[in-house]
Amino acid sequence: MNKHLVWGIGVGAVFTILIGWVAVSDTLAAGGLALLASAVFGVAAGLCIGALIAANFAMLAFEESEHHEKVAEQKEAHAAA
């Protein structure tokens, strides 16, 4: 489960950095408040998308842990029978 969470946070961070850089690079020449506003909105959008990606990985980890628990219970029930 921890493996999926680490990968989700890593992939989310990469998307955050990429989206933030694209937003900043468009206004790099203009500078000033346009650059600041673009950076803030770019990082905010990147964090939103990155958090969704990380949550998707967390849901995957949770579903896998449920599946492993059910399989273990079924094996124990068959062994007891």
Q: What is the pLDDT of residue 29?
A: 86
Whole-structure pTM over 0.75, yes or no?
no
> Is residue 27 within 8 Å of 35, Cβ to Cβ?
yes
> Is residue 20 within 8 Å of 43, Cβ to Cβ?
yes
CA dist 73 and 67 (Å) reads 10
> Is residue 19 within 8 Å of 42, Cβ to Cβ?
yes
- Exposed / middle / buried, residue 46 (Cβ in 10 Å: 0-12, 13-18, 19+): buried
Mark out the alpha helices in 1-81 (DSSP H runs).
2-26, 32-80
- Report pLDDT digits (tens) over 33-76: 989 998 899 889 888 888 888 888 888 888 887 776 666 666 66
Give me the residue spans of the domains in the chain: 2-80
